[in-house]
Amino acid sequence: MTENLLFAFGLTLMAGLATGIGSLLAFFTSTTNTRFFSFSLGFSAGVMIYVSMVDIFVKAQDALVAALGEVPGNWATVAGFFGGMVLIALIDQVIPKQGNPHELKKVEEMDKSPKNNSLLKMGTFTAIAIAIHNFPEGIATFTSALQDPALGVAIAVAIAIHNVPEGIAVSVPIYYATGSKKKAFKLSFLSGLSEPIGAGVAFLVLMPYLNDIMFGVIFAGVAGIMIFISLDGLLPAAKKYDETHLPIFGVIAGMAVMALSLLLLI
């Protein structure tokens, strides 16, 4: 049990701190590799959509039907699924647009004049927004890894991929506003820590009550959260980075890799 907990926490920490990788990438390039990010974000969306609908939703449904009966269990699954969507949508609504991590930002588009207060404000808002977004993602990664380690790995990798450009969104404006790579990296790094904090909350608050019903509702909510993030954040951003068919190729590749990994685990 202890090994499973440490593994789940480790995966969640890895996924969250991928924002730091984005920060480092921003310091060593003068332009954004739009094709790479377009494919990667599409890939991440493909993984999330496939695993949510084919695996996570089904597991939630099986647990709730077994615990509550067929009709109440199916209703509870659907309610949990859309409840997760509503939760992440509400989080999006309370975040100012200039700090929303789903707003596309490129390295070369930033005003490079030092001590730019508007850039500093943008970067700070984005760091706060990403921290808020990462919190439910941390719960999703942790609970998934605890229930099914292989599934947890897939979710952690997908979330880590989409955290990389979010790290760039934090570090670039702060770096150009302050001239300090250290400060930019620190804020980007810290914004990702809310993911393992979310895992900690899941462990302390949810674990004592984790029966079949609680597990089913959480998993249904996780599926809803990841579908919303994919449709509202990852796919639109992927399309903005590259308007060709590259994003959909990424989606198909992500789904194919996820499908193959699930088949190999049967």
Residue numbers in the known binding site are 134, 137, 162-163, 166, 195
Binding-site residues for Fe(2+), in ranges, read: 134, 137, 163, 166, 195
* Identity of the amino acid at 152: G
How many angstroms separate the CA atoms of 111 and 159, rounded?
A: 29
Strand, helix or coil for residue 245: coil
How many angstroms separate the CA atoms of 105 and 107, rounded?
A: 7
Q: What is the 3-state secondary structure of 98-134? A: HHCCCCCCCHHHCCCCCCCHHHHHHHHHHHHHHHHHH
Could you give the C-alpha distances from 140 to 145, 211, 225, 244, in angstroms and in order? 9, 16, 8, 31
Binding-site residues for Zn(2+), in ranges, read: 137, 162, 166
Place of tokens 């990462």: 134
